[in-house]
Structure 1
Amino acid sequence: MSVPALRILLLNPPHTAIGSRVPREQLPPLGLLSIGGPLLDAGFAVELLDAEFGPMPIDEVVRQVVERAPDLLMVGHSGSTSAHPTIARIAARAKQALPRLRIVYGGVFPTYHWRDVLSREPAVDCIVRGEGERTAVLLAQALARGEEPAGVPGLAYRRNGRIVDTGPAEMLTDLDQARVGWELIDHDRYSYWGGMKAVVVQFSRGCPYLCSYCGQRGFWTRWRHRDPVEFAQELARLYREHGVRLINFADELPTGSRKAWKAFLEALIAENVGLTLVGSTRAGDIVRDADILHLYKRAGVIRFLLGIESYSEATLQTIRKGASVREDQQAIRLLREHGIISMATYVVGFDEDGDRDYWNSLRHLLRYDPDQIQLLYATPHRWTPYYDSVAARKVIQTDPRKWDYKHQVLATRGVPPWRVLLWVKAIEAIMQLRPRALYRSLLHPDRDVLRGMRWYVRMGRRVWLRELFEFFFAGGRTRRGPSVEEFWGASLAEHENALAKPQRRRIPIRTLPQA
C-alpha cells in the first residue's frame, strides 16, 4: 500500500550538559537514527538535523527547521531530562514560525512526564512513549492518511483539548527487525576517543537488575539482545564501508547473556576488523567471564565502565545494586590483567553524607585502584523507586538543564554544597594524580591503553575545571528550594515499566561453526 508524501525531520537538539559541551568530539544520535531507519524503509522522506554540532544556537535551529519546512518534526535527546527545557523552547519557536507543523517528542523524560508536557507545552502535539521504532512508523502512516492515531499504542496526544492516552507500546522482541538509519549521517563528522571515527550502537536493551535509582531500566522493561553474528557483521560493514574505528555501546548491560556475548565476540574476531570497543557493564559479569576475557581483548574491547556507586555495603543494599565490594575489586583486577581499562563511576549523595563518608569513599576508591574515575551526583528520577526515598529532601538546583549527574541537585544536612564540591574534586584529583594512574597515563606499555588513558586525562582535566567554574560563577543554586516531590510532582514509580510485555519467545542464539 502506497504511503502519501510526508516529509519528516529528525532533530537532535543542542544539549547544555557539561559532558556534551566540553568534549570537542560528537557521537551520532542513535535514538533518532533507530527510528529513522524504519521510517525510511516505510517510504517516508527523512532528514536529520544534528544541532549538537557547534552547538547550534536556538535561533539557527529554528531557522533551519523553517528552511526545511517538514510536515513532521520528531525531536528527542539521549540526555532526556536536562535536554527538556531546550526542546520545549525549540518546539514553541518552531510552531510559531510554522503553525501547521506537527511536533512529536520522544525519549525517556517525555515517556514518563507525558501528562505534564502536554499540559504545559502547547507546541508539542504528540508524545511517543517508550521504544519508538514501530510507534513512529504507525504514527506517521496514520497522519499521512489524514487519520487520528487513536489505534497506535504508545502515544499520548491532545484531542479537542483533552489528553488521549493510547496505552503502552509493545516492546520489540526481535531487535534485528528494525535497522539503524546510518545513511542519515555523514560518518566523517563523528568521532570519539581522540579523533577516531565513531558510532553509538546497542547490542541489547534493558537490564534484569533492580537498582532503585536507574532511570533507564524500566524504560526498556525487559532485557533483550540482537543476533550476535548479524550484529558483528553490521559493525564490520561500518568499518569497511564508512571507516568507523570506534564502537561506543549504549547498552546498560551488553554482557547480560554470557552465551550471546561470547558468540558476538567470536563473530567479531572472525570478521578481522580493527575496531575499538568501549561500553558499560556490571562487575559481576566481568568476574563471571574471567575465562573469556582474552576474547574481549581480541575483539577490541579497550574499556568498560563499572558502576561502583558506593563504599557502603548498606547503601548498596538500600539502592538494590545487587553487587559487592569484593566483586567490584576483583573485576577491576581482571580487566587490568587482560589489558582493558577500567572506569569506576561513583555516586555521591545517595545518603545525607558527612565528611567522614567522603573520606571513606576516597580510601575505598584507592583500594579499588581503577584506571579511570568518574564521580557523579545522585539525581532522582520521578519514575524510579529511589525517587520515593528522597521525595522529602530539598532541591538546591531548580534548573532542569543541570539535572545531568554533574551538578549537585539535592541538599545534604551534614555538608554544605561548596564542601561537597571540594571533596568530589579532591577525590578525582587524587585518584588521577596518584603514581599508578600517572604511570598508566604516561608510560603504559600497551599503546591502545596508553591512548585511552591520555585521551581521558585531556578531556577529564577540562571537565574538572568547567565544573569548578560553573559552581562558583554560574551555579544558580538556591538555599531554600522545594522538596523533590514539590519540584517534580508525585512519584511515577508504579509506572516504571514503560512497555507492554509480550509473551516470552525464545530467540535462538546463532553462533559461528567451530573450526
Structure 2
Amino acid sequence: MRILLVNVPHPAIGSRIPDDHLPPLGLLAVGGPLIDDGHEVRLIDGEFGPMSTLAIVREAVAWRPQAVLFGHSGSTSGHPVIAEVAAAFAAGMPGVPIVYGGVHPTYHWREILAAEPHVTAIVRGEGEETARRLMAALATGADIGAIPGIAHRRDGLPRATAAAPVIRDLDAYRVGWELIDHARYSYWGGLRAVVVQFSRGCPHLCNYCGQRGFWTRWRHRDPVLFARELARLHREHGVRVVNFADENPTVSKRAWRTFLDALIAERVDLILVGSTRADDIVRDADILHLYKQAGWQRFLLGMENTDEATLQLIRKGGATRTDREAIRLLRAHGILSMATWVVGFEEETDADHWRGLRQLLSYDPDQIQMLYVTPHRWTPYFRLAAGRRVIQADRRRWDYKHQVLATRHMPAWRVLLWFKLTEFVVQSRPRALFRVLFHPDRGLRHAMRWYTAMGRRVWPHEIWTFLFRDRRLSEGPTVAEFWGAPQDGEEEAMSAHPARRDDAAAA
C-alpha cells in the first residue's frame, strides 16, 4: 500500500516561536515497521512553514495514498487541527481510509468516531504492531474488528477491540529515520537534532500524568544497541543533539549505567537533553561524571511545585530537599538543571506564589519552565479537578501553557502576573545572568543564551495572546461538564498492579 503519514502544524507556542523543529518520533516509529512490511511510506511534516490545510491536502492528493495516518505528540491541543485536516482529506480523497493515533484519541475514541465520520479507525496505545496489522487488513479487505488495540465502527456505532499486548521488546521495531531529511531538523540553536526514546512508561504514581496508563509499564531499549543507534545517527546523518522523549529514562540504574558506558565507548560528540526525576540524580551521585562524559548538557527535573502539600495532592513522591540536592549535584558535574513549576491549583493565593518564588530561588536552578495545571480525563487528577470551572473553551489552548481553569481566590490576570514575575525573577537574577554571560563551559553558555533568546520571543507572544486573542469564559462549565466522565479506570497500569520501582530498578 501507499501509506501517507501526516504531522499537522501544532498551534502551541513552543512549535510556532522557535526556528528549530524536531522530527515527529511517533510517526517515524510507526513508519519503520510499515516500510519493513513492504509498504511504500511517505511523511508530510506540516510543521515547516507551517503548512496550511490546503497545502497539505494538495501535496497528499498529488501523491495518491491508499491510506492516511495521523498522529501528534501534542495530543489534546493538537486534535482540533488534526480534525480539520482529516476532514479536508476526506473531501479531497473520498474513500481513502483515515487512521488516527496518539494519547488523545486513545481515550477520546468514542467522541471522535461519533463526531468525525471520516475517521476509519483509531489506534489505541502503542502503535507499531497495531498499525502493521491494521494496514495489512486494509490492504486485503479483511475485517479490522479482529485486530487488538483499535477502535472503529460496527453497525454504525463506535466500538473498541481488546487491548493490544504490551510491546516487551522495544528493539523489535525500528524508527523509520529514512522518512526525513535530517538537514531540516534542528534544536539547541540550529544544531541537527532528533527525538528518541530509551524507555517507555513510568513506575511512579503522580496522579496528573497519563504515562502509566498509556504505556502500561516501564520498559527500556537494549542499552548497547541504543547507544549504537545514536552513534550511527551522528556519523551517518550529522546529528548533534539528541532529545530524549522519555518521562524517566533513568529508572534502572544498571541499564542506564550500561547505556552511558556504551555511548562513551562510541566516542561521538553528542549533546544529550531530556527529563528525569530529582531522586534519580541524587541516587546516581557516584556516576554523574559518566552522564557528563556521555554528553548530557541539561536535565528537566519534574518538580511541579515547591509546596509540600501540593506535592502530596498530586502524589509526586518527591521532596524539596531532594530537588535542591539534585540541582546542586548537576551543577557540580557541569550539567544544566531546568526546574518545572506548575501554577493554577484551585486554592492558590498570593502568599502561595510568593512562598513558591522564594523556594525556587533557594533551589537556584539554571533554567525554569513554567506550566499551568491542565487536567485530562484519563488521569486520576481529573477527579480532583472535575468540579472546577473551565475558563478556556478552545481546546487548542489545553497545552499546559495557557490558563484553562479558574482559581478560587485569584482572577486569571493575577495568576498570569505571578507566572511571568516568577519567570522573570528566576531567569534574571544576578547569579543566573552571570552564568548566561560568563559560564566557563562554552557549550553550556550557548545553551543558556539560546534558551534566554527563546524566552524573549515567547514573553510578548504570551502576553499579547492573553490580552487580545484568548477568549476566557466568566461562567464556564465544570471540567466534568466540559470533557465528560473520568476515564482513569481505563488506565491499565492502575488495575494491573504494575511492578514496583524496586522491580524496575533491577531490570
Q: Please give the TM-score of this superposition, normalised by the length of structure 1.
A: 0.96
Does 2:96 correspond to 1:98?
Answer: no
Does 2:360 correspond to 1:365?
Answer: yes
* Shift in CA distance, 502/235, structure 1 to aligned 2, threshold 3 Å: farther
Give the counterpart of 1:15 among 1, 10, 14.
Answer: 10
Give the counterpart of 1:352 among 328, 347, 355.
Answer: 347
Give the counterpart of 2:248 among 244, 253, 259.
Answer: 253
Does 2:125 correspond to 1:130?
Answer: yes
Letter paired with 2:25: L
Give 5+ residue unaligned stretches, structure 1: 1-5, 511-515
Q: Deviations over 1:475-513 (max 9, x none)?
A: 111111110000000100111238997999x99999xxx
Equivalence map 1:440-459=2 (5 Å):
440-459=435-454
Q: Deviations over 1:57-107 (max 9, x none)?
A: 111111112112211000010001000001111111110111111100000
8 Å contact from structure 1 (residues 170, 500) kept in 2: no
Q: Deviations over 1:237-271 (max 9, x none)?
A: 00000000000000000101000001000000000
Letter paired with 2:289: H
Q: Distance in 2 between matches of 1:377 and 1:502?
A: 30
Paired residue for 2:231? 236
Paired residue for 2:283? 288
User: Once the 2 structures are TM-superposed, how far is the Cα of residue 441 of structure 1 from its aligned partner?
Assistant: 0.6
SS at match of 1:32: helix
Between 157-166 and 23-32, the greater mean CA deviation after superposition: 157-166
8 Å contact from structure 1 (residues 130, 498) kept in 2: no
Paired residue for 2:393? 398
SS at match of 1:150: helix
Give 5+ residue unaligned stretches, structure 2: none
Percentage of identical aligned residues: 62
* Shift in CA distance, 220/230, structure 1 to aligned 2, threshold 3 Å: same
Does 2:119 correspond to 1:148?
Answer: no
Q: Distance in 2 between matches of 1:498 and 1:159?
A: 28
Q: Deviations over 1:425-459 (max 9, x none)?
A: 01100111101110111100011110110110001
Does 2:35 correspond to 1:40?
Answer: yes
Letter paired with 1:284: D
* Shift in CA distance, 480/179, structure 1 to aligned 2, threshold 3 Å: same
Equivalence map 1:185-196=2 (5 Å):
185-196=180-191
Does 2:160 correspond to 1:174?
Answer: no
Paired residue for 1:3? none
Between 347-356 and 43-52, the greater mean CA deviation after superposition: 347-356
Give the counterpart of 1:486 among 475, 481, 489.
Answer: 481
* Shift in CA distance, 503/416, structure 1 to aligned 2, threshold 3 Å: closer
Does 2:459 correspond to 1:470?
Answer: no
Paired residue for 1:164? 159
8 Å contact from structure 2 (residues 338, 366) kept in 1: yes
Q: Distance in 1 between matches of 2:80 and 2:334?
A: 42
Does 2:73 correspond to 1:73?
Answer: no
Letter paired with 2:32: G
8 Å contact from structure 2 (residues 24, 72) kept in 1: yes
Give the counterpart of 1:306 among 274, 282, 301.
Answer: 301
Between 456-465 and 111-120, the greater mean CA deviation after superposition: 456-465
Q: Distance in 1 between matches of 2:497 and 2:431?
A: 50
Q: Distance in 2 between matches of 1:252 and 1:267?
A: 21
Q: Distance in 2 between matches of 1:498 and 1:88?
A: 29
Letter paired with 1:415: M
Letter paired with 1:118: L
Paired residue for 1:315? 310
Give the counterpart of 1:108 among 97, 100, 103.
Answer: 103
User: Once the 2 structures are TM-superposed, how far is the Cα of residue 147 of structure 1 from its aligned partner?
Assistant: 0.7
Paired residue for 2:408? 413
Q: Distance in 2 between matches of 1:92 and 1:341?
A: 44
Q: Please give the TM-score of this superposition, normalised by the length of structure 2.
A: 0.97
Does 2:330 correspond to 1:335?
Answer: yes
User: Once the 2 structures are TM-superposed, how far is the Cα of residue 283 of structure 1 from its aligned partner?
Assistant: 0.1
Q: Distance in 1 between matches of 2:382 and 2:211?
A: 14
User: Once the 2 structures are TM-superposed, how far is the Cα of residue 217 of structure 1 from its aligned partner?
Assistant: 2.7
Does 2:157 correspond to 1:183?
Answer: no
* Shift in CA distance, 426/110, structure 1 to aligned 2, threshold 3 Å: same
Q: Deviations over 1:322-369 (max 9, x none)?
A: 100000000000000000000000000133211111111110100111
Does 2:201 correspond to 1:198?
Answer: no
* Shift in CA distance, 64/154, structure 1 to aligned 2, threshold 3 Å: same
Q: Distance in 2 between matches of 1:113 and 1:354?
A: 34
User: How many residue pairs get matched?
Assistant: 504
